[in-house]
Amino acid sequence: MARRIRHKEHDNHDRWLISYADFITLLFAFFVVMYAISSVNESKYQIFSASLTSVFGKQIVKPEAIVPTNDQDLLLKSLVDRRNAKIAEQQQEAMQDIAKKINQVMSALIKNGQVSVMQTNRGVAVEINASALFNQGDAVLQGDAIDTLAEVAKVLEQVDLAIEVEGHTDNIPINTQQFPSNWELSSARASSVVRLFIEQGLTPRHLKAIGSSANYPVTSNDTAEGRARNRRITVTILSPSFERTTPAPKESTLK
């Protein structure tokens, strides 16, 4: 009986190309997805487009033709909202920590009712009765007040935030050579606190002195107690979120 001749099977050395092609396809799909959910950068897109064109030899669609789906929009919005909520939470905790430290260094004045520390939508507001800082009708800080404000400055030196110092008076007019009106008195008192903060190491560009005269009373000026309460200095540490929403002053050129 004639022996059946077996044909020798040849090894297929190109089988690896199938796996390689699958890998390249998956890799391409991954980068397309990543690219679709990211913001388009013109220069990076051109580099990316040229690379794909050289590999696949096809024309890549322009960025204007890539329209995110509703699911992608919702995903991006969700990620942004979660990030913003996390940032807001961290900022709130930081402002609470500032208020706590100021409460500690001003505890004596808080107990006798000369200082109050509040958290507002603008940040942390420290309201100091003028009698704890100045003599009546004067804008020179007194010895005990200097020590107390120096401790406050140590707390504020640890944060990189804008600080407003606002002076307030009662509605009783003042008319001296140094202070022709309550405007000058309130501005001078706010400036005295700002100068002390600068001497204690705070960055000048973070500070602002404001004189408000008797325009923002916290209670009625009809009694001596009310007028005494209205004579005050308010130190406001602005929260980062409030700073971002406040428009910067526009520059103008006088001709």
Choice among 51-60, 94-103, 123-132, 202-211 with the minimum mean pLDDT: 51-60
| Sequence ranges of the domains in the chain | 20-67, 86-245
Cα 147 versus chain centre, distance:
29
pLDDT surpassing 50 at residue 251: no
| Superfamily of the domain at 86-245 | OmpA-like domain (3.30.1330.60)
Q: What percent of the chain has pLDDT over 70?
A: 71
Considering only CA atoms, which of 86, 75, 87, 83 is closest in space to residue 38?
A: 75
- Residue 238, classified by CB atoms within 10 Å of its CB into exposed (0-12), middle (13-18) or buried (19+), is buried
User: If residue 46 lies in a helix (H) or strand (E), which one and from where to where?
Assistant: helix 42-56
- Residue 41, classified by CB atoms within 10 Å of its CB into exposed (0-12), middle (13-18) or buried (19+), is exposed
State how far the Cα of 123 lies from the Cα of 101, in Å rounded to an integer.
Answer: 14
- Residue 177, classified by CB atoms within 10 Å of its CB into exposed (0-12), middle (13-18) or buried (19+), is exposed
State how far the Cα of 82 lies from the Cα of 88, in Å rounded to an integer.
Answer: 10
pLDDT surpassing 80 at residue 124: yes
pTM exceeding 0.85: no
pLDDT surpassing 70 at residue 51: no
Pairing status of strand 115-119 against strand 123-129: antiparallel
Q: What is the pLDDT of residue 175?
A: 93
pLDDT surpassing 90 at residue 25: no
User: 150, 200 in Cβ contact below 8 A?
Assistant: yes
